[in-house]
Amino acid sequence: MSFTPLAAHPSQQPAPAFRGRIGRDARSGHYAVPRRYRLHLSPATAPGLRIAVTHSLLGLDAACPVTLLPPVPDCPDGGHSALRPLYDASAHRYTGAALGPVLSDDWSGRIVSTHAPDITRDLARGFGGGRPSLYPCGTESEIEAVERLCAEGIEEAAQRAGAPGTESAHRAAALDKLLTTLDTLERSLTGFAFLISDQVTFADVELWVALVELDTVHRHHLDAAAVHRIADHPAVWAYARRLAARPAFGAHLDLDGIARRHDAQCRGLEAAGSAVQILDWDAHAAGGDSTPPQVNRP
């Protein structure tokens, strides 16, 4: 099943403070030179986890080192003190929070970008050398459609379905949207190893992180019946389990960090869904069943 691009959706996140791009040659200003750039991220956040998985799939450990940030920011404004020197060097009298993730330029000591989607694309496109193609030719629109499907149909729908103080009818509508999205994905994944291709693409990174967040964060605010309905998508969760068994995915799961970040930031009340874990992520990340289905996409 192909994914049709959706209408543009305004982000609920604050606008990025820096949005430089890595180009393919010296004329771009920021061009892809090994060990020039550094990532600063926490895999306990969804954007950080997406970048960490992308970084591993591309084999960029030597070309672009990673500095890990703590799961819970240590500044009152929600920023990281370790990033403050980079922000101060990059913008005169910057007064905002020093947020991650950050792609910095070690040559200048300044920030290139804090925009996570640009960072993942630039890592995938800027560094060649026979690395895997996470954005295969002709798949860009489908990958963008999957990104919006995950943002609206999983992440935002799950948040609204468990939002405290929201009318029950609105929560029910949000849950219906979440379940409809999972139904669509169930049909797309039945018999297939990956979402839009016969190899891992960024669409798989996007969906896998959304499923991790759904089970480790959002379900804590849903009732048990809702979580059981979410879990009743065997192809979706078998897919999540298979990817978790791959080192590029599972090695970055910081379940304790996710829990600590959630506890520090969440103001909602826990519901009965907290007791209904869908996957044992620790066990699968340690080397669960990674055997893919035998059907290939046309």
| Separation CA 72–CA 65 (nearest Å) | 21
Quick one: 259 and 178 in the same domain?
Answer: yes
In a domain, 12, yes or no: no
- Single out the residue of 284, 128, 134, 124 nearest to residue 199, CA to CA: 134
The Cα angle at residue 49 between residues 44 and 50, in degrees rounded to 5: 155
Domain extent, residue 64, equals 26-126
In a domain, 271, yes or no: yes
In a domain, 135, yes or no: no
pLDDT of residue 1: 53
Which 3 state secondary structure label does DSSP give 127? coil
In a domain, 133, yes or no: no
Quick one: 200 and 268 in the same domain?
Answer: yes
Measuring CA to CA, how many Å separate 197 from each of 37, 181, 262? 30, 19, 33
In a domain, 266, yes or no: yes
Q: What is the DSSP string of 197-261?
A: SSS--HHHHHHHHHHHHHHHTGGGGS-HHHHHHHH--HHHHHHHHHHHTSHHHHTT--HHHHHHH
| Separation CA 234–CA 228 (nearest Å) | 12
| Separation CA 190–CA 132 (nearest Å) | 24
Quick one: 54 and 162 in the same domain?
Answer: no
Is 163 within 8 Å of 178 (Cβ atoms)?
no
Instruction: Enter the tokens of residue 74.
Output: 């240590």
- Tens of pLDDT, residues 202-261: 999 999 999 999 999 999 999 999 999 999 999 999 999 999 999 999 999 999 999 999
In a domain, 21, yes or no: no
Longest dimension (CA), the chain: 57
Instruction: Enter the tokens of residue 285.
Output: 């990340």
- Give burial (CB, 10 Å; 0-12/13-18/19+) of 168: exposed
Instruction: Enter the tokens of residue 124.
Output: 């995938």
Quick one: 273 and 150 in the same domain?
Answer: yes
Quick one: 153 and 98 in the same domain?
Answer: no
Quick one: 105 and 43 in the same domain?
Answer: yes
CATH code (residue 157): 1.20.1050.10
pLDDT of residue 31: 85
In a domain, 132, yes or no: no
Alpha-carbon torsion (60, 63, 64, 68), positive or negative: positive
- Give burial (CB, 10 Å; 0-12/13-18/19+) of 61: exposed
CATH code (residue 35): 3.40.30.10
pLDDT of residue 96: 92
What dihedral do alpha carbons 122, 123, 124, 128 form, nearest 10°?
110
- Side by side, the strands of the sheet bearing 66-68 are 66-68, 37-41, 102-105, 110-113
Q: Distance between alpha carbon 178 and the CA centroid of its chain, in Å?
A: 17
Is 238 within 8 Å of 293 (Cβ atoms)?
no
In a domain, 194, yes or no: yes
- Single out the residue of 34, 250, 42 nearest to residue 127, CA to CA: 34
pLDDT of residue 267: 72
| Count of positions (residues) in the chain | 298
pLDDT of residue 296: 43
Which residue ranges of the chain lie beneath pLDDT 70? 1-16, 24-28, 128, 268, 286-298
Quick one: 193 and 253 in the same domain?
Answer: yes
Total domains present in the chain:
2
